[in-house]
Each structure stands twice: as C-alpha cells, then as structure tokens.
Structure 1
Amino acid sequence: MAQTYELVASLRDRVGKGSARTLRREGKTPAVVYGDKQPPLSIAVDTKETFLKLHAGGFLTHVATLKVDGQEIKVLPRDYQLDPVTDTLVHVDFIRVSDTTKLTVNVPVHIVGQDKSPGIRRGGALTIAAHEVALQVSANAIPEFLTVDVGGLDIGDAVHISAVALPEGAKLVDHDDFAVATVAGSAASASEEAAEAAAEAPKA
C-alpha cells in the first residue's frame, strides 16, 4: 500500500486571480477539495510543504489527510498545475476519499531482476512497454508500485501484465494482456546465434 501523509490547510473565503496571487506571496497555494457528493471546498496549503511532497514521488497515488480548521479530510491529489516559467506550484485539486472509495490511478512499474536475466546477460536489450499501469483500486489499497521481475527472461521472452501481482480487488483499466517488458536480441547476439545454428547444422 502507498504511503500516507498529513497537510495543514486553511479555508479560503475569497477566490479569483487576485486572491490567488496574494496567497502565493504568503507562501501558500490555492487548492480545491471536491467529490463525495459534497460542495467543493476552497482551501490553501503550504507551498513549500506540498511542493516537497510532490517531488518526493507518488504524489497522485498517496492518500493525504488534510487538517482544515480542526477538521480532518482524507483526500487524494488528482491534479496540480505548475507555473510554466518558474516551475512553482500554483494550484492543486484534491478528491475526498474513504477506505472503500474506488479510484482509477496510474501506478508506476518497477523492473527487477535485470542482472539475473539470461537474455540480458547474453547481450539482449530490455524493452519496457509501460512505465505505469492504470488500475481501478480502493483508496486504502493503492500500491506504491507494481513489481515486474525479468530475471527469468531469455532473448525473445516477455512478461505480460497478467503475470504481475495486483492488489486484492484491483482491476486493470483499458488494458489487454500486453507485454510489460521484453528482452530483444541485439545485432551481435543475433549474429552469434546464427553462427551457432550454422555450426550445429548437419553437414551435407
């Protein structure tokens, strides 16, 4: 399961560009909490703290607890905007969640076992077809990442998504049983295999 964290936030009584600029000068970022059939809630979060969470990785898959004027709201960041020039955080959208909330999230793929792959050790090249996979999963069961082990792959072999362990109850979204990672032969290894095949062929 992915990590969780807390963010202290404050209610915003004004919205608009002028108010947003004032917040940013104060080191805060405007944000909105929506979902769960409740009215949107305009808040402000600490820019530095939120920016650090953003660059720590997994920002859009880590459930957070917002502490807003004595109230605790469990949320998941759904989107954020960065200034195209300064790369500073300018807005965040959060969605309310509970332990039973089903969400569609993009989960990173971690490749392991490259050093054990007979195909890679023979000069084959590892091709990764998906660096993240869309899953429908409960908010309390979002995985930090999906592990794909290529340690048993020889040249020409692949690991399909059906062989990758998913959290209980999780479902793939808009995916067939595609190959997540493949070991393809390099030109050198292909020449070597051709030479071996020629040597082993029966002579006339």
Structure 2
Amino acid sequence: MSETYELTAEARERVGKGSARELRRNGKVPAVIYGDKQDPIAIALPYKEVFQRMHGGGFMTTIATIDVAGKKYQVLPKDYQLDPVRDFPMHVDFLRVSKNTVVTVAIPVHFINEEKSVGIKRGGVLNIVRHDIEATCPANAIPDFIEVDLAGTDIGDSIHISAITLPKDVKPTITDRDFTVATIAAPAGLKSEEQESAEADEVEEKEEGEE
C-alpha cells in the first residue's frame, strides 16, 4: 500500500458554480468530503498539491489525511473532474474511511517474469486485456498493484483471474465468470505460417477425398 499523505484544506461556506470559479482563479480546487453517515463538508485545496498528487501515481488508491481547521479526516479519492481542454483538476470527491471501511477500487496490474515466458521467447506478444482489476478491499489495505506471473506461459495461453494470487481480503467485483486478464498472442509472421499450413492440410485432405 502506498504511503499516506496529508493535505491542508479550507472550509467553504459558499458552494455553486460561481464560488467554484472564484476558487480556481485563486489557485484552489473545490472538493467535497462525504460518507461514513456524516454530513458532507465542502472544502478548498491548493491547486499545486492536488495536481502533483493526481499525476504522481496511485492517487485513487492512496489514503490521504485532510486537515480542515485543525480537524483531520482520513479519506480516499473517489472521483475527480478535469478541464476537458487543459487537463487541470476542477473538482475532487473524497470518501471518509476508517479501519472498517471496505472500498471498491481499480487496482493496477503488473506483469512479471516475461523473460521466463516460453511464448514471449518464441516471439509471442503479451496482449493485456485488463490494465487494472476492479476489486473490493479494506480501505487501509489497498494494494499498490496486483502481480501477474508470466513464467511458463506459451503462445495461445490466456491468463484468467482464477490463476492470479490476490492479496488478502482483495476480491474482484466480477464474480459471475473467470474473466481474462491477458493473453499471449502469436506474432503476425507465425499466424501467417500457421494459416498457410492449415490451408495446405485442407487442400491435401480434399485431394485425398477425390481419389
């Protein structure tokens, strides 16, 4: 799990589009803290710090502490809006969390041991079907990533979620099927050779049937 970090926020007395625009002009990002059966709190955060956290990796899977006038809240970013043109943070939603909070997050997938994959050594291509896996887990134990071992995989193999060892208490939200995370695809040249071979076999069988 990524190390937690702290942000200092100001409470917002006014909400609405006009107030939000004014905050952004003053270098602040409007945000809301909600959840845990408590009233939502409108806050303003320093733009520079939010921007750095968003682009530093792990923003949506790292618990933060937000200090609002001396009162601290443990939160997890749940959603954010970016300016469609300039890609600037426009608004952030934070969920209050505690040691008993279970959250749904998209956990990145990391692949290891590509050098030990028979298929990749033969020129096969790793085709990533899912770059992250949506799962539920305790808010205070969100893994930085899920590791997928490619050792021993060959061309044509599919790696399903059932073949992946997940961290403790991490459960995929998709439970009705054994979904595919990645495959080892044949390179274009090999596909062509296999296709030609199959066509040759088909012609041979047809000729034998005519004799």
How much has 1:60 moved relative to structure 2?
Answer: 1.0
- 1:123 alignment partner in structure 2: 123
* Alpha-carbon distance in structure 2 between the residues aligned to 1:42 and 1:127: 43
Q: Which amino acid aligns with 1:143?
A: P
Give the TM-score taking structure 1 as reference length.
Answer: 0.89
How much has 1:184 moved relative to structure 2?
Answer: 2.0
What does 1:139-178 correspond to in 2, within 5 Å? 139-175=139-175, 176-178=177-179
How much has 1:58 moved relative to structure 2?
Answer: 1.6
- 2:206 alignment partner in structure 1: none
What does 1:71-150 correspond to in 2, within 5 Å? 71-150=71-150
CA displacement, residues 182-202 of structure 1 (integer Å, 9 cap, x when unaligned)? 11222433537969xx9xxxx
- 2:186 alignment partner in structure 1: 185
Do the aligned residues in 2 keep the contact of 1:142 with 1:167 (CA within 8 Å)? Answer: no
Q: Which amino acid aligns with 1:25?
A: R
Greater share of helix residues, 1 or 2? Answer: 2
How much has 1:111 moved relative to structure 2?
Answer: 1.4
* Alpha-carbon distance in structure 1 between the residues aligned to 2:145 and 2:3: 11
Pick which of 173-182 and 20-29 moved more: 173-182
Aligned residues: 196
How much has 1:155 moved relative to structure 2?
Answer: 1.3
How much has 1:158 moved relative to structure 2?
Answer: 2.6
* Alpha-carbon distance in structure 1 between the residues aligned to 2:109 and 2:3: 16
CA displacement, residues 43-71 of structure 1 (integer Å, 9 cap, x when unaligned)? 00111101100011121111100011101
What does 1:51-90 correspond to in 2, within 5 Å? 51-90=51-90
- In percent, how many aligned pairs have the same letter? 54
* Alpha-carbon distance in structure 1 between the residues aligned to 2:188 and 2:27: 55
- 2:24 alignment partner in structure 1: 24
Uncovered stretches (5+) of structure 1, i.e. residues with no partner: 199-204
